[in-house]
Amino acid sequence: MHNSAFRALGLDYRYEAAQVEPDHLANFLNQVMKRPDVRGASVTIPHKIAVMDELDVIDREAADIGAVNTIVNIKGTLKGYNTDGLGAFRALKESIGNLSDKRVVLLGAGGAARAVAYRIVQEAAVVTILNRTPQRAGELAKYLREKSMEHDVEVSAFPLDDEHLAWVMGETDLLINATPVGMHPNIDETPVPKHFLHSQLIVFDLVYNPLRTRLLREAEEEGALTLGGVEMLVYQGAEAFRLWTGREAPVDLMLRVVREALGG
């Protein structure tokens, strides 16, 4: 999507993949990323947290979230950003509008969940975090309560199991899956059994491959409004594009290219 955007705007940039082993991360940043012909990078698993110790400057939102997914090389100074939360928030706002009265259930407590929740708690009324490791859910809830003290939002955390799904799903307005459950190749998996879904629900699955996860398909069958992960992927990428180039990204083009690449 980035190379298509560069070509469309006539920019002399090229986006390439680089596999970096954890033991070589520091060397890669110092020897490759600081070169004058390198403008920046995207950061994926497993480096989003570890990379923070190797960067020169960390943007405030990335520092608060505790993860970096975008690096910008500013004349040899490497600055880390996190555009995941902004990407998810923009996708939600464009699809459903105001979140101020929404009761949100967030599945997961990892880096993606943390980035999304950082933005969500600024508007949502109630946020419930469900995670298979209850301790991590509790830690994220505590962090969010500290970060949202100026907002009137209720944040709680529980184990991700049928008992707690049964307890919270009936009153949930927005369900966000920030786990990898259902991602290719495990496309027959779902984090929430179908009988917990209902027609008054909005379901946002951050998984973008496949385009329509089992969770989204079953939510649609129950009459729920659904939103896939492609929009978040593109919107977080569009913000990274802006940070690298100083230009607004051609979002419609990027959406089309990604959907075509994923077979949609």
The span from the CA of 255 to the CA of 192, in Å, is 27
Kindly report the CATH number assigned to the domain that includes residue 164.
Answer: 3.40.50.720
- Domain harbouring 13, CATH code: 3.40.50.10860
Residues 157, 37 within the same domain: no
Is there a single domain that holds both residue 162 and residue 212? yes
131 and 224 co-located in one domain: yes
Residue 150 has a pLDDT of 66
Tens of pLDDT, residues 99-137:
888 999 999 998 889 999 999 998 888 999 999 999 999
Q: Which residues, in sequence order, are CB contacts of 115 under 8 Å at separation 6+?
A: 65, 67, 69, 82, 84, 85, 88
For residue 201, give its domain range.
85-228
> Which 3-state string (H, E, C) describes 142-182?
HHHHHHCCCCCCEEEEEECCHHHHHHHHHHCCEEEECCCCC
Q: Are 127 and 100 in contact (CB under 8 A)?
A: no
Are residues 245 and 141 both part of a single domain?
no
Q: Which tens digits make up the pLDDT trace of 166-189?
A: 999 999 999 999 999 999 999 999
- Position 149 pLDDT exceeds 70: no
Would you please indicate which residues are annotated as catalytic (active-site) residues? 48
Q: What is the mean pLDDT of residues 240-246?
A: 98
**Beta-sheet pairing, 126-131 with 202-205:** unpaired
Tell whether 199 and 243 lie within a shared domain.
no
Residue 167's pLDDT is: 96
Residues 6 and 117 in one domain: no
pLDDT band at residue 60 using 50, 70 and 90 as cut-offs? very high
Contacts of 60 (CB under 8 A, 6+ apart): none
Domains held by the chain: number: 2
108 and 203 assigned to the same domain = yes
Check: CB of residue 192 under 8 Å from CB of residue 213: no
